[in-house]
Copies of this chain bind each other. A is one copy, B any other.
């Protein structure tokens, strides 16, 4: 059982919001707190076939690896109040992906069996799952769309643009990632991403330092995102 301090997290969570106040103790009783160290792939230790997770703190990437080339690419970059794994929750079969923490992460876990019972018991959770999955479909459609139709510099620009906080005007979620991780997010490789980052730097679009990217010229960045540089 987890502490009262997590009630607020559940209240904000897309799946557990809009539930009557008196239900929360039941949830709290079933959750366990887990701390996963940085850069650990916990797929074997804690299979998602048995547990369902809510992220309380830190980032977790869901990714695939091509066994032949050992190339990796990130499907989802999850952070606070994201949950996984929805597909394992719905169907009792394996979801052929890996999970890895990008920071030390704090997770709330609940037996997947319990989560399934809750879905039946609380129709509101069932209902909330739909828009959450809808958003994932949108993200994937956009992802595929970009990989097919846009070149790397355009995808890189878009990646940066979609992670600008509207208020602070600064990068968030991806601001401290290595070029390797940035490449995984757009389906490319470190060397190629670096090549384009250098070009962006030359063009006065970005300021680049170790594990840090700052935007210098938003307008030019927008242009890069729109423009495809395919030959022809």
Chain A residues within CB distance 8 Å of chain B: 64, 66, 68-69, 71, 73, 75, 86-87, 90-91, 97, 123, 126-127, 129-131, 133-134, 136-138, 140-141, 143-145, 147-150, 187, 227-228, 230, 232
Contacts and interface: CB of A to CB of B under 8 A. Distances in A.
Contacts of A138: 87
A149 B73 contact: yes
Nearest to A147: B147
Report the copy number of this chain in the oligomer. 2
Contacts of A73: 144-145, 148-149
A149 B87 contact: no
A133 to B, nearest CB: 5
B134 A90 contact: yes
Contacts of A131: 90-91
Nearest to A95: B138
Contacts of A90: 130-131, 134
Contact of A148 (B140, B147, B228, B232): B147
B126 A228 contact: no
18 contacts: A64-B149, A66-B149, A68-B227, A69-B149, A71-B149, A75-B141, A86-B134, A90-B131, A90-B134, A97-B141, A123-B126, A129-B130, A133-B133, A137-B137, A140-B141, A140-B143, A144-B147, A144-B187
Contacts of A75: 141, 144-145
A108 B134 CA distance: 23
A64 B75 CA distance: 20
A169 to B, nearest CB: 25
A75 B144 CA distance: 8
A228 B90 CA distance: 32
A91 B134 contact: yes
Contacts of A69: 149, 228, 230, 232
Given A64-B145, A148-B73, A187-B148, A134 B134 contact: no
A19 B147 CA distance: 41
With a 10 A CB-CB cut-off, give which of A86, A90, A230 has the most chain B CB atoms.
A90
A98 to B, nearest CB: 12
A67 to B, nearest CB: 10
